[in-house]
């Protein structure tokens, strides 16, 4: 797969200090004897845009496809003499859920994301995380405001999903409420801190509320940042769930950017991941029996399948997509 270089960021995703830090880091290459991946080196440190103010940055990584092969064979070299054989081994490992060789590779991301997505993301506990501290620093005045196309009513059939997109007037009302609430709570946040957006005191005679308390009424669409480090196996587990079509749109937007990083970093593993995890389906023993009966020419109905109505619908979605 051919990848275009990351595009330049627009708007205020980065502070000037962050942009200067990235420029300095990229201007100071360090010689190494470790295996490197040219496609990842090309995007190292650079922010990849997500949502309206968010981004994902690769800040460090260890290992490559060859490291997976090396760990599987416990060899000291580059694996086999043939790339084709190496890819065959990786596909075998993925197909049969031999996961430990994938744990030999690691990657560290810097992520800027809305708090409500961070709280969903943190449920993936097989990672090392260090988040921006609002006890120590003042949060920036940045909020996630959805695109109107993402404003949908509650789904009638899925308690944690979206239904029909709101119409123009209703969507405009919701967007106005989101902006007004975010602006108001941030203004109150500054008042409680006795500080303006730059952190300067509004009233030298007032001390202001402690930062750890002033933050508590900020809206969940306020942006936070963290460093998130994980191994390749657990990254793929995260992406299998969060890049799925059924995942919440906002976290899926981050996952899709990270899938692109995965394809740059470990292309052979990424192909196997797509084939056996991301774009694959798992069938229960009952579903396998139903498929075998159908292949044998037997008419099978929901009533004779031995499956629940939901299981039957899910199986039909896989084998008879409309």
List, by residue number, the catalytic residues. Answer: 242
Whose CA is closest to 117, among 153, 152, 143, 149? 143
Cα separation, 81 vs 98, in Å, equals 22
Q: Which residue has the tokens 């579903």?
A: 287
Structure tokens at 7: 């595009």
Cα separation, 238 vs 251, in Å, equals 11
What is the residue-wise DSSP string for 28-94? S----SS---HHHHHHTTPPEEETTTEEEEEEEEE--HHHHHHHHHT-SSSSSS-HHHHHHHHHHHH
Bridge partners for 54 per DSSP: 50
Residues with Cβ within 8 Å of 186's Cβ and at least 6 positions away in sequence, in order, are 141, 143, 218, 222
């Amino acid at each position: 797969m051919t990848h275009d270089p990351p595009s330049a960021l627009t708007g205020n995703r980065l502070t000037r200090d962050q942009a200067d830090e990235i420029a300095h880091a990229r201007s100071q290459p360090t010689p190494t004897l470790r295996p490197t991946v040219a496609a990842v080196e090309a995007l190292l440190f650079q922010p990849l845009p997500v949502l309206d103010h968010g981004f994902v940055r690769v800040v460090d990584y260890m290992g490559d496809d060859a490291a997976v092969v090396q760990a599987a064979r416990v060899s000291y070299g580059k694996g086999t003499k043939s790339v084709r054989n190496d890819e065959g081994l990786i596909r075998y490992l993925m197909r049969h859920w031999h996961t430990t060789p994938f744990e030999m590779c690691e990657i560290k991301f810097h992520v800027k994301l809305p708090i409500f997505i961070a709280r969903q993301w943190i449920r993936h506990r097989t990672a090392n995380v260090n988040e921006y501290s609002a006890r120590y620093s003042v949060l920036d005045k940045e909020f996630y405001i959805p695109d109107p196309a993402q404003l949908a009513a509650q789904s009638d059939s899925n308690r944690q999903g979206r239904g029909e997109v709101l119409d123009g007037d209703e969507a405009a009302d919701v967007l106005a409420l989101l902006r007004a609430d975010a602006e108001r709570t941030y203004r109150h946040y500054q008042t409680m801190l006795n500080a303006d957006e730059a952190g300067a005191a509004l009233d030298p005679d007032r001390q202001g509320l402690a930062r750890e308390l002033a933050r508590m009424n900020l809206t969940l669409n306020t942006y936070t940042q963290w460093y998130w480090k994980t191994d390749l196996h657990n990254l793929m587990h995260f992406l299998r769930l969060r890049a799925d079509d059924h995942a919440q749109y906002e976290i899926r937007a981050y996952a899709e950017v990270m899938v692109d990083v995965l394809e740059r970093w470990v292309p052979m593993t990424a192909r196997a991941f797509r084939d056996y995890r991301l774009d694959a389906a798992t069938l229960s023993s009952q579903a396998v029996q139903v498929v075998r009966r159908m292949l044998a020419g037997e008419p099978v109905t929901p009533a004779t399948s031995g499956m629940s109505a939901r299981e039957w619908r899910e199986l039909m979605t896989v084998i008879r997509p409309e």
